[in-house]
Every structure is written in structure tokens, then in C-alpha cells.
């Protein structure tokens, strides 16, 4: 009887030990998601990108297949000026639809705006674990997942403090889903995973266009590695027809929207696609940078883990060739398949290399697992080094988590609530808020977008102090009723003065 009891206890301990990584994963993902929800609905917009995403998604509630920024223009606009445009194709549609669904479910709010990013970024970390377990140990996969789940940079994107916010989070999620499909195709050769990779690549394309093809690039690299015996052929069931099937599926997913916008809004479609390719050869919006800037931007993404990632990538670099390890080929193809093309482009942005993050974290996770594994024949000196290395990683994890927590503690509130409340209650439906903008100071540069989000009225900026006069005349000619929102004192009928914002709303009456 005691023997049976001991055997039962050993069986329980073995089960707990085996399920520990899965339990750790669930705890990590739940804690990180809970942290993302903290102050997620803060009322300020961190960038003009988030303003535009919030507003276009709000307008999609009225017409899901017509993405508009300024829904009723009233004033002339230039299709090439994406921050003051009517039809808005500056970013693909899928992340905006996701936000629109969140609005439809929860109501229009800044919390609903950012909730899809909080959900998708958490699931993306989960896919990092699923990808890692296919080629690495579960302990290595949990390590990479934990670092990604509490990344301060991803937290900034989720909370809207980094531009491209919801767009890059959506791209990250669908790229990881697609890579998982490629990984499972390599393992099984089953067409259902080919379809998964193709569908995910199509959705990634509808999130941020051409960077989505990193999925095909990874699949093609792994296929070549097996063909030329750089990796063990018996470990790769991915075939050329699978890659072709993946591409066809991607076209079937992304093609209909591309054709629809090309025929429905040809001017905007052409402008925005030219804009994308201009990043390769021109300085777009002042983001021109030398080739090595991409690696500095990656350092911003990895933050405290930059040095460990560099060490792990360098120390593990020869392993794919020495061991013919197809999993490591995939991870290096994924990571450098993102970094190298962006290093060649003229325009470089901080979040452009985010989709390489999981690959490098998994390489780090594998390196950590190997260098912290207990060995019975280790000398005391090596044991001390291993303990110091493990302690450093724990400290870095805690530090990264604290930085992520600090992001959620920021309470940036806008000062337009009084103006928005007055406009919503007292101004007619055809009111047009002509909002004075000081480009040099920058603090009011995109307040017209904020006003449109917090009200149901059209708002347009003006930059010269007397420009409201000519704009008011044009608004009236188009059936709108112009109001001036400014810090200045004007000889016009005063309707409301905000104590919080110090701005005044005037009725724009023109003297004869």
C-alpha cells in the first residue's frame, strides 16, 4: 500500500512537471493581457496615426466598404494629403474593420479602439510559443513568449503611443499565424496548414501590404535549404506546390479588396500604392536613414534584451549549418528576411522590423535553454556563470515588465472634452469646426481629427490666422455652417469658451 501511494505521488509530480510550461504560458498570457487593459481607454491619442485609425473605423460603422477620414468634406481636399483626405486608403482595411467591429460591439470609445490590439498582441505571443515548441523545447518557447508578452514596445503600440499602433499589431499577429502554418506544413505536409498560411498571409497583406510576404519568403528559404541538403530532407515535408498554393490562397483573400478599391477609388489607390513604393527610394516624411538605422530601431524594440539577443544570434549562427537544423534555418530566415530588406530601403520607421521580433526571441530562448541547463559534470566555476546568467535574465524580465507597466500608468488625457460636449449638444448637424492649428508648436496639429472622433461634426484645420474667412465662405457654399475654434480673441459671436482648453468657439459670420 505505501508503495502504491509513493508511485501515485511520483506520477502526480511527473504530470505537474510535464504540464508546468503550459501552466506558465497561460499565466503569462493572462497577466500580460490584464496589464494591457490597464488605462487602455485613456482619452488622448498618441499620434496622428491613431487619430486617423480611430476616425476611419468610426466612419466604417456607417459604410463598411467606404473608408473615409473626413466623411463629409465641405471643403476642397487633395487626395495626396492623407491626413486631410476624404477617401482614406493610406493603410489597409483589415485593422480598421477589426476596430469597427469592436466599436459595434462595445460602442465608440478609445477603449474599444485599442481592445483589438490588446487581444491580438496577446495571441501573437501565444503563437510564438506554438511555433517554438515545433523545433525547440517548451522551456525555450516559454522564455521567448514571456519576453514578448511583456514587451514595453508592444505595450506602447497597444496603448497608441507608437505610430502605426493597431496596424503593426495586426500585421504581427497574422504573420505569426502564417509562420505557424508554414511550420506545421514543414512537419506534416498537410494542405490544411498550407491554406492556413495562405489565408494568414492574405490577412497580413490586408493589415500592412507587402511586408506580409515574409511568410512566403520563409517558406521558400526553408524549401531551398532542404533541396540543397543544407537541412535534413526527411525533416521537411514542404514542397514547391505548397508554396504555390499558399500564394494562390493569398491572392484569393487579398485580391477582392485590392480590385474593389482600384476600380472604385482609382485616384487614391494609385497615390497610396505609389506612396508605399516611394519608401524604397525616397525620403518619406523625414524618415530617411542609413542602412544601420534598422538595427538601432530593432534595439528599441528589444529594449533591455538587445544585448542578450545579439549574443544569442551570434553564438547560434553556425548551428543551422553544423546540425542541418531546419527549425533554426526558419528562424534566421524569418529574422533576417525582415531586417535586410528594410536596411536597403531609403525610408525606415521604428516599428518596421517588429515582425522579426518573435524569431530572434525564439533564438534567444533556445540559447538560454542550452546555457542554463544543469549538467552533472559542470565545474563550480561554470555553475556560478550559469547562475549569474540566469539571474541576469530574470532581472531583465522584471525590468522589461516594469517598463511595460509604466506605459500603462501614463494618464494622458485630452483637453477637448468640454468643446466636444458643447458641440455635440448645441451645434447643428451641418456644423463645420474650423480649427486653428499651430504647426510649429505641434500641440494642436491634429486636434481637428480628435474633434471629429469625439463629435459627429466635420472639422478642418487652418494654419493662417485669417484663413477662416475664406474657408467659412466655401463651407457655406457647400451647405455647411462654419464655426471657428481658436485660442485667439475674434470679433465674432462667442458661443463657448472652454476652461480646460482655453479655446473659444465662435460663429463664423462674415461682414458685408
Q: Rounded distance, CA 305 to CA 168, Å?
A: 21
What are the tens digits of pLDDT across the range 126-171?
A: 999 999 999 999 999 999 999 999 999 999 999 999 888 999 999 9
455 Cβ contact partners less than 8 Å away, ≥ 6 residues apart: 420, 423, 424, 433
Which range is least confidently modeled, 12-21, 108-117, 491-500?
Answer: 12-21
| Residue 242, phi-psi category: left (phi > 0), alpha (psi -120 to 50), beta (remainder) | alpha
Which range is least confidently modeled, 170-179, 229-238, 377-386?
Answer: 377-386
Please say whether the beta carbons of 16 and 385 come within 8 A.
Answer: no
The confidence score (pLDDT) of residue 54 equals 96
Confidence of residue 7 (pLDDT cuts 50, 70, 90): low
The confidence score (pLDDT) of residue 19 equals 60
Q: How far is CA 201 from CA 73, 94, 165, 206, 454, in A?
A: 35, 12, 19, 9, 34
Residues 175-191 have a mean pLDDT of 96
**In the numeric block, which cell numbers belong to residue 507?**
460663429
Residues 194-206 have a mean pLDDT of 98
Residues 195-201 have a mean pLDDT of 97
Q: Is the pTM of this model over 0.85?
A: yes
Cβ-count burial 139-167 (b if 16+ within 10 Å, e if not): bbbbbbbbbbbbbbbbbbbbbbbbbbbbb
Please say whether the beta carbons of 360 and 309 come within 8 A.
Answer: yes
Backbone CA torsion sign across 95, 96, 100, 103: positive
Backbone CA torsion sign across 30, 36, 38, 40: negative
What are the tens digits of pLDDT across the range 425-468?
A: 999 999 999 998 875 554 567 889 999 999 999 999 998 888 99
Burial of residue 91, with CB atoms counted within 10 A of its CB: 0-12 exposed, 13-18 middle, 19 or more buried = buried
- Best CA proximity match to 354, nearest among 495, 164, 187: 164
What are the tens digits of pLDDT across the range 39-87?
A: 999 888 878 899 999 999 999 999 999 999 999 999 999 988 898 899 9
Q: What's the whole-number average pLDDT of the chain?
A: 90
The confidence score (pLDDT) of residue 6 equals 52
Amino acid at each position: 500500500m505505501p508503495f502504491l501511494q509513493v508511485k501515485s505521488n511520483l506520477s502526480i509530480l511527473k504530470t505537474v512537471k510535464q504540464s508546468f510550461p503550459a501552466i506558465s504560458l497561460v499565466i503569462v498570457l493572462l497577466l500580460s493581457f490584464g496589464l494591457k487593459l490597464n488605462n487602455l481607454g485613456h482619452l488622448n491619442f498618441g499620434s496622428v496615426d491613431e487619430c486617423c485609425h480611430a476616425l476611419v473605423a468610426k466612419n466604417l460603422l456607417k459604410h463598411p466598404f467606404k473608408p473615409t477620414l473626413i466623411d463629409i468634406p465641405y471643403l476642397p481636399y487633395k487626395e495626396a494629403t492623407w491626413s486631410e483626405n476624404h477617401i482614406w486608403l493610406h493603410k489597409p482595411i483589415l485593422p480598421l474593420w477589426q476596430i469597427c467591429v469592436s466599436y459595434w460591439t462595445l460602442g465608440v470609445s478609445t477603449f474599444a479602439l485599442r481592445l483589438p490590439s490588446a487581444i491580438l498582441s496577446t495571441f501573437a505571443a501565444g503563437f510564438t510559443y506554438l511555433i517554438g515548441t515545433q523545433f525547440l523545447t517548451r522551456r525555450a518557447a516559454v522564455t521567448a513568449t514571456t519576453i514578448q508578452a511583456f514587451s514595453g514596445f508592444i505595450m506602447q503600440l497597444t496603448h497608441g503611443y507608437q505610430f502605426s499602433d493597431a496596424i503593426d499589431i495586426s500585421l504581427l499577429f497574422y504573420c505569426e499565424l502564417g509562420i505557424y502554418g508554414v511550420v506545421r506544413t514543414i512537419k506534416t505536409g498537410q494542405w490544411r496548414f498550407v491554406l492556413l498560411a495562405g489565408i494568414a498571409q492574405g490577412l497580413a497583406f490586408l493589415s500592412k501590404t507587402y511586408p506580409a510576404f515574409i511568410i512566403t519568403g520563409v517558406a521558400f528559404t526553408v524549401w531551398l535549404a532542404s533541396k540543397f541538403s543544407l537541412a535534413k530532407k526527411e525533416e521537411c515535408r514542404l514542397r514547391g506546390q505548397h508554396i504555390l498554393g499558399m500564394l494562390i490562397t493569398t491572392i484569393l483573400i487579398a485580391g477582392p479588396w485590392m480590385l474593389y478599391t482600384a476600380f472604385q477609388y482609382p485616384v487614391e489607390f494609385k497615390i497610396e500604392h505609389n506612396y508605399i513604393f516611394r519608401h524604397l527610394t525616397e525620403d518619406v516624411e523625414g524618415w530617411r536613414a542609413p542602412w544601420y538605422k534598422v538595427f538601432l530601431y530593432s534595439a528599441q524594440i528589444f529594449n533591455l534584451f538587445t544585448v542578450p539577443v545579439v549574443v544569442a544570434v551570434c553564438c547560434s549562427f553556425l548551428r543551422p549549418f553544423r546540425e542541418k537544423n531546419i527549425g533554426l534555418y526558419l528562424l534566421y530566415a524569418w529574422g533576417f528576411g525582415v531586417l535586410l530588406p528594410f536596411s536597403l530601403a531609403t525610408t525606415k520607421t521604428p516599428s518596421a522590423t517588429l515582425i522579426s521580433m518573435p524569431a530572434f526571441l525564439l533564438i534567444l530562448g533556445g540559447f538560454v535553454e542550452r546555457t542554463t541547463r544543469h549538467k552533472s559534470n559542470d565545474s563550480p566555476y561554470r555553475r556560478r556563470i550559469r547562475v549569474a546568467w540566469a539571474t541576469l535574465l530574470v532581472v531583465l524580465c522584471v525590468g522589461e515588465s516594469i517598463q511595460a507597466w509604466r506605459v500603462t500608468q501614463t494618464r494622458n488625457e485630452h483637453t477637448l472634452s468640454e468643446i466636444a460636449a458643447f458641440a455635440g449638444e448645441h451645434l447643428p448637424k451641418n456644423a463645420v469646426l474650423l480649427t486653428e492649428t499651430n504647426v510649429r508648436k505641434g500641440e494642436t496639429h491634429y486636434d481637428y481629427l480628435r474633434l471629429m472622433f469625439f463629435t459627429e461634426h466635420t472639422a478642418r484645420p487652418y494654419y493662417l490666422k485669417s484663413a477662416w474667412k475664406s474657408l467659412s465662405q466655401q463651407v457655406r457654399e457647400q451647405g455647411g455652417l462654419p464655426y471657428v475654434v481658436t485660442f485667439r480673441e475674434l470679433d465674432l459671436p462667442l458661443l463657448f469658451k472652454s476652461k480646460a482648453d482655453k479655446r473659444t468657439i465662435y460663429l463664423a459670420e462674415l461682414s458685408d
